[in-house]
Amino acid sequence: MVSNTQKKFISFSLLSITIFFLVFASTLYAQTPPPVSHTVSISASVGSAVVIVPGGGTSGGVILPQTAVSFSGYAYPNAQVSLLKQGELKTTVKADSTGYFSITLEEKYNSNILYSLFAQDVSGNRSLLLNYPMVVQVGYITELSGIRFAPTIVIDKSQVRVGDYLTVNGYALPQNDMEVNIVGVANKVFTLTSSSDGSYKIVLPLTDLPRGAYSIYINYKNDTRVSKLIKFTIGESNIFFTDASSSIPGDCNADKKIDLIDFSILAFWYGKPNPPKCVDTNGDGIINLIDFSILAFYWTG
The binding site for another protein (CB under 8 A) comprises: 5, 8-9, 12-13, 16, 19-20, 23-24, 27-28, 30-31, 33, 42-44, 87, 111-112, 114, 116, 128-135, 137, 140, 142, 144, 215, 228-229, 252-253, 260-261, 263-265, 267-270, 276, 278-279, 282, 289-299, 301
| In the complex, least distance from residue 179 CB atom to another protein, rounded to whole angstroms | 17
**Taking phi first (over 0 means left), then psi (-120 to 50 degrees means alpha), and beta for anything else, what does residue 289 get?**
alpha
Nearer of residues 204 and 279 to another protein, judged by Cβ: 279
Nearer of residues 218 and 279 to another protein, judged by Cβ: 279
Dist CA 70 CA 145 (whole Å): 8
DSSP string over 8-63: HHHHHHHHHHHHHIIIIIHHHHHTSPPP-SS--EEEEEEPPEEEEPPTT--S--EE
The rounded Cα 285 to chain-centroid distance in angstroms is: 25
Give every strand in the sheet of 41-46, ordered side by side.
41-46, 140-148, 68-74, 100-106
| In the complex, least distance from residue 121 CB atom to another protein, rounded to whole angstroms | 18
| In the complex, least distance from residue 226 CB atom to another protein, rounded to whole angstroms | 8
- Contact in structure between 113 and 136 (CB atoms under 8 Å): yes
| In the complex, least distance from residue 62 CB atom to another protein, rounded to whole angstroms | 25
Beta strands in 123-273 (DSSP E): 130-136, 140-148, 154-155, 157-161, 165-171, 177-184, 188-193, 199-205, 212-220, 230-235, 239-240
| In the complex, least distance from residue 256 CB atom to another protein, rounded to whole angstroms | 14
Phi–psi pair at 180, nearest 5 degrees = -100, 125
Nearer of residues 122 and 294 to another protein, judged by Cβ: 294
Nearer of residues 157 and 228 to another protein, judged by Cβ: 228
Nearer of residues 89 and 296 to another protein, judged by Cβ: 296
| In the complex, least distance from residue 117 CB atom to another protein, rounded to whole angstroms | 9
Nearer of residues 89 and 290 to another protein, judged by Cβ: 290
Residue 291 DSSP symbol: H
Nearer of residues 236 and 255 to another protein, judged by Cβ: 255
| In the complex, least distance from residue 92 CB atom to another protein, rounded to whole angstroms | 17
Dist CA 273 CA 291 (whole Å): 14
Q: Count the neighbouring beta carbons within 10 Å of the beta carbon of residue 255.
A: 13
Residue 148 pairs with which residues in a beta bridge? Answer: 74
* 294: three-class secondary structure by DSSP: helix
- Contact in structure between 118 and 108 (CB atoms under 8 Å): no
Nearer of residues 241 and 292 to another protein, judged by Cβ: 292
Longest dimension (CA), the chain: 102
| In the complex, least distance from residue 129 CB atom to another protein, rounded to whole angstroms | 3
